[in-house]
Amino acid sequence: MNARERILARLRAAPQSAAPSPPALAAFYAASSKLPCLTERIGAFKKNIEAFRAEVHQTTADEWPSLLATLCRDKQLGNLLYAPGMALAKALAGVAGMPRLVAFEQEIEAWKEALFEDIDASLSLARGAIAETGSLIIWPGPDEPRTLSLVPAVHFVLLDARLIHADLFSAMTQQVWAADMPTNALLVSGPSKTADIQQTLAYGAHGPKELIVLLMMPQEAP
């Protein structure tokens, strides 16, 4: 018997222990949740994402298009990229003061130069958010390409406050992520930043320099 065979024999002869039971995650998070009501989740989300240099503007389901137009004017943005298939996209049409709307309707290779050099800002619709970390949940797909949240220097995100979850586990289970995952699910907590060069913090190196959240508040937060 050679060395390899002796090692394998010892491994096979070793007592076999039962596999440990998986942790009861649902019970753990239910017992440890510190943000049981929506008002608390909204406050925690706003505080945490602003700490990462994001802007948050509270609005309503009726008023967000006008607020978006005002913010674009204040920031002197000449155009806004959006996905025609995005829910609520029709609300952008005909809004006074809205910059030129650019629909994401062609393959990226067909207009890459214009996309990277001429587009000022973009709009995404968040699937939800996580209060504990101040993170937006962006769900790319055919209706909303990943490029919307990656290329333009200014990234607007429309978020329904009722979709703010206490923690990542709550978001994953309540939204049933396992049933329909995209190629990549995104958690965004602020504008793009890096400190790779001489440990100097710089924004916009790998994505938007500004992240602006349009937070649609419910009529009454329980």
Does any domain span residue 184? yes
What pTM, to 2 d.p., does this model score? 0.85
Number of domain units in the chain: 1
Model pLDDT, residue 204? 66
The SS3 of residue 59 is strand
Does any domain span residue 16? no
The two tokens of residue 80 are 């806004």
- Containing domain of residue 212, as a range? 36-216
Q: How far apart are CA 35 and CA 184, in angstroms?
A: 27
Does any domain span residue 30? no
b/e 57-76 (16+ beta carbons within 10 angstroms → b): eebeeeebbebbbebbeeee
Does any domain span residue 132? yes
pLDDT per residue rounded down to tens, the chain (222 residues)? 789 988 999 988 888 888 888 888 888 887 777 788 999 999 999 999 999 999 999 999 999 999 999 999 999 999 999 999 888 899 998 899 999 999 998 888 888 898 999 999 999 999 999 999 999 999 998 888 999 999 999 999 999 999 999 999 999 999 999 998 888 899 999 888 777 767 777 776 777 999 999 999 997 644
Does any domain span residue 154? yes
| Residue 28 CB contacts under 8 Å (≥ 6 apart), including other chains | none
| Residue 42 CB contacts under 8 Å (≥ 6 apart), including other chains | 131, 161, 164, 215, 217, 221
Does any domain span residue 10? no
Q: How far apart are CA 16 and CA 145, in angstroms?
A: 49
Alpha helices in 33-167, H assignment, sequence order: 38-50, 64-74, 112-118
The domain that contains 50 carries what CATH number? 3.40.50.10420
The two tokens of residue 164 are 């703010």
Does any domain span residue 174? yes
Does any domain span residue 4? no
